[in-house]
């Protein structure tokens, strides 16, 4: 807020004590500064990097060659968006999705001497601002009905650029939007408790029903 007001020419003498930020589950990035600096240098020089990455739920770290394109933050986590690069001496297979790497899971980053051409078709906003979901899979339409406090909360926000909100006479709303990550939609809907109900697609309704049943059994 201070930076924005400064640009508007209205921040003279504005004290920092007026503002704060609070979040839980944060990550200490101090031990990762050197890796971030190497990635920035590689992006500036368009150099391929050799990285060792420990993916979540994987027992062993794996090594890849990547073209680093963008470092960004999402919900208090810093990520690297990249494209795969050919590894010397190995056959190249085009991946289904571009690498999306959590910075704190990078075990090692090395800037190589090999250069890459920045992809002319790459636009960060086209990848991440099209629909609901951080992880990108096939896109699908979702319809969810919200009641009570959740209806007001959801109606105040944008969840997908193409969303539609239908206000009902009883105060409930229907949110129609596109998504690309079923697990994220499931988690998000469940976070509203009994104030949210998926209308479609059916497979999503069945998935949430299954999760609720498992949760019920755990608390028996």
Q: Would you say residue 86 lies in a domain? A: yes
d(CA 81, CA 111): 16
User: What pLDDT score does 8 carry?
Assistant: 58
Residue 123: Cβ-neighbour burial (10 angstroms; 0-12, 13-18, 19+):
exposed
For the stretch 17-34, pLDDT in tens is 878 888 888 999 999 999
Instruction: Compute the residue count for the chain.
Output: 220
The candidate with the shortest Cα–Cα distance to 177, out of 155, 193, 194, is 155
Cα separations (Å) of 65 from 24, 57, 71, 98, 117? Answer: 33, 21, 17, 12, 15
Q: What are phi and psi of 56, to 5 degrees?
A: -65, 140
Q: Is the pLDDT of residue 10 over 60?
A: no
Question: Pick from 74, 103, 122: which residue ends a domain?
Answer: 122
The mean per-residue pLDDT over the stretch 40-55 comes to 97
Is 117 found in the same domain as 138?
A: no
Sheet holding 47-53, edge to edge: 100-102, 77-84, 62-74, 47-53, 106-115
Is 85 found in the same domain as 159?
A: no
Question: Pick from 91, 122, 153: which residue ends a domain?
Answer: 122
For the stretch 58-110, pLDDT in tens is 999 999 999 999 999 988 899 999 999 998 888 878 887 889 999 999 999 99
Q: Would you say residue 13 lies in a domain? A: no
Question: Pick from 88, 122, 156: which residue ends a domain?
Answer: 122
pLDDT band of residue 111 (cuts 50, 70, 90) is: very high
Is 191 found in the same domain as 155?
A: yes
Number of domains in the chain: 2
User: What pLDDT score does 2 carry?
Assistant: 59
For the stretch 122-167, pLDDT in tens is 988 888 878 888 888 889 999 999 999 999 999 999 999 999 999 9
Q: Is the pLDDT of residue 3 over 70?
A: no
Q: Would you say residue 164 lies in a domain? A: yes
Cα separations (Å) of 181 from 138, 184, 191, 212? Answer: 8, 5, 16, 19
The CATH number for 106's domain is: 2.30.30.520
Range of the domain at 187: 130-218
User: What pLDDT score does 174 carry?
Assistant: 98
User: What pLDDT score does 37 carry?
Assistant: 97
């Amino acid at each position: 807020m201070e930076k924005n007001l400064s640009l508007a020419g209205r921040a003279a003498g504005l004290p920092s004590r007026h503002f704060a930020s609070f979040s839980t589950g944060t990550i200490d990035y101090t031990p990762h500064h050197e890796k971030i600096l190497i990635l920035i240098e590689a992006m500036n020089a368009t150099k391929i990097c050799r990285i060792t990455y420990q993916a979540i739920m994987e027992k062993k770290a794996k090594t890849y060659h990547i073209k680093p394109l963008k470092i960004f933050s999402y919900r208090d986590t810093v990520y690297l968006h990249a494209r795969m690069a050919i590894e010397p001496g190995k056959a190249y297979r085009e991946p289904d999705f571009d690498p999306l790497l959590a910075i704190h899971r990078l075990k090692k980053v090395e800037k190589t001497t090999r250069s890459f051409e920045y992809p002319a078709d790459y636009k960060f906003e086209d990848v991440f601002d099209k629909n609901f979901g951080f992880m990108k899979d096939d896109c699908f339409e979702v319809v969810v009905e919200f009641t009570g406090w959740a209806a007001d909360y959801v109606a105040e926000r944008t969840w997908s650029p193409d969303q539609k909100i239908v206000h009902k006479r009883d105060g409930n709303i229907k949110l129609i939007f596109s998504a690309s990550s079923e697990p994220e939609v499931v988690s998000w809907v469940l976070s509203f408790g009994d104030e949210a109900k998926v209308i479609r697609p059916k497979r999503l309704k069945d998935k949430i029903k299954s999760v609720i049943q498992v949760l019920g059994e755990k608390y028996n």
